[in-house]
Amino acid sequence: MSNPVCLVTGSSSGIGAAVVDEFARHGYDIVVNYNSGQDRAEAIAEDLRQSHGVQALCIGANLAERDAPFRLVDEAVGHFGRLDVAISNSGVANYIKDEKSGELIRHRFHECPPEHLDLEMDRVLNLNLKGAYRFGQRALKHMIDFAQAQQQAGEVPHHRSLLFITSVSDIAPETTRIPYGVSKAGLNHAVVGAAFEGGPHNITSNALRPGVVDTPLTARPSGITDPATGEEFTVAQTYGLMAEGGSQALPWIANPDDIAVAAYAFTQIPYMTGQLVAVDGGFTLAGGFPNRELFLNEGLRRRQG
Ligand SMILES: NC(=O)c1ccc[n+]([C@@H]2O[C@H](COP(=O)([O-])OP(=O)(O)OC[C@H]3O[C@@H](n4cnc5c(N)ncnc54)[C@H](OP(=O)(O)O)[C@@H]3O)[C@@H](O)[C@H]2O)c1
C-alpha cells in the first residue's frame, strides 16, 4: 500500500510549511507548491524526506494564472497516482506597494482612488478566490474519479478531504482590507458547494478560518506606531498587543503550528463537511461582556474628548 498523498498550495512559507510538516509527520507523501520561493520549497521538501521518511515533490505554480491550478493538481496526481487531501492555502493581502517608496499603500475604503480600488481587488480575486476555486474544482474532480474507480472495483471509497484556508476576515471588518475579506467570503461559498458534490463519494470539504497568525504575511508594517519607541508595529505585533488587551479569549496570537494541527484534524473527521470553522483564539467571539471594563473606559475616554 502506498502512503496517502497531501497537496498543499503555498507550502513554501508560513502556515503552508507547517501544514506539510504535520501531514508528513503522520506518514503522508507530500506535494509542496511554491510561487516565488523555489529554494525555500526545496529545503522544506528535503527536510520532510529526512525527518519523516516520506516522499516530497516540489511543484512551482503561480496560481493567479488561469491554467496553473489545473496543471498543479494534474501533475501531482500524475506523479503519485492518488490524492487523499488537497489544501488550498496560497493567499496574499490586498495591499499594493508604492513603486517609488516600496511601501505598502493603505487606503480607507471611501478614500481609495478607482484605479487602486481595482488593482487591490484584482490582486486578491485572482489568487485567493479564482486560484483557490480552480484548484478545489480540479482536486474534487480527481478525487471523484478515484472514488468511482474504487466503487467500480466493488470497494467502498475511503475518506478524502478538501480543505480551504480562508480567514476570519470573511466576516471581521477592517476598512483597508475589504477586498481581502471579499475574496475569503466568496471562497467560503465554493467550500459549501463542493461538500454536496463530494459527499456521495465520501469526500468532505471544509474551510479553516484562521485568526491572526505570526507568519511572513503578518510581518508587514501595520501603520500603527508604538507610543513608547515611535517605531511602527508589525501586524502580528499589533494583534498580539490587542490579544493581551482582551480582544480575544486566548491572549496571544497563533503560530503556524497551531493552524497546522487543526488543518490535520479537520481533514480526518469523516462526518464533518461544508463547515466554515474559525481557529482564532476566540477573536470572533462577541467580546462585549468579558471586556466590559475595557470598552466602558474607552467609551468614557472618547466622550470626554
Ligand atoms: N497569517 C495570518 O494571520 C492569516 C490569517 C488568516 C488567514 N490566512 C491565510 O493563510 C494562508 C497562508 O498565509 P501565511 O500567513 O502563511 O502567508 P505567507 O507566509 O505569506 O505564505 C503565503 C504562501 O502563498 C504562496 N503564494 C503567494 N502568491 C502565490 C501565487 N501567485 N501562486 C501560488 N502561491 C502563492 C507563497 O508562495 P511563495 O512564498 O513561494 O511565493 C507562500 O507559500 C493565506 O491564504 C492567508 O490568507 C493567514
Domain segments of the chain as ranges: 5-95+121-213+254-286
Measured from the CA of 36, which atom of ligand 1 is nearest? Answer: 41
CA of 216 to the centre of ligand 1 (A): 8
Chain segment 8-65, per-residue pLDDT in tens: 999 999 999 999 999 999 999 999 999 999 999 999 999 999 999 999 999 999 999 9
At the topology level, CATH places domain 5-95+121-213+254-286 in: Rossmann fold (3.40.50)
Chain segment 196-234, per-residue pLDDT in tens: 999 999 999 999 999 999 999 999 988 889 888 999 999
- Does any ligand 1 atom lie closer than 6 A to the CB of residue 165? yes
Chain segment 75-92, per-residue pLDDT in tens: 999 999 999 999 999 999
CA 269 to chain CA centroid, Å, is 19
- Cβ atoms of 194 and 144 closer than 8 Å: no
Q: What is the mean pLDDT of residues 239-244?
A: 92
pLDDT at 71: 98
- Candidates 45, 39, 50; CA nearest to 6 is 45
Question: What average pLDDT does the chain have?
Answer: 95
pLDDT at 211: 97
pLDDT at 292: 86
Distance CA 98, CA 282 (A): 34
CA of 13 to the centre of ligand 1 (A): 7
Tell whether the model's pLDDT for residue 98 goes beyond 90: no
CA of 90 to the centre of ligand 1 (A): 4
- Does any ligand 1 atom lie closer than 6 A to the CB of residue 157? no
- Cβ atoms of 181 and 173 closer than 8 Å: yes
pLDDT over 90 percentage in the chain:
83
Query: Hey, what's the torsion of the CAs at 36, 231, 123, 110, to 10 degrees?
Result: 180
- Does any ligand 1 atom lie closer than 6 A to the CB of residue 91? yes
DSSP-derived pairing of the beta strands 232-234 and 221-225: antiparallel
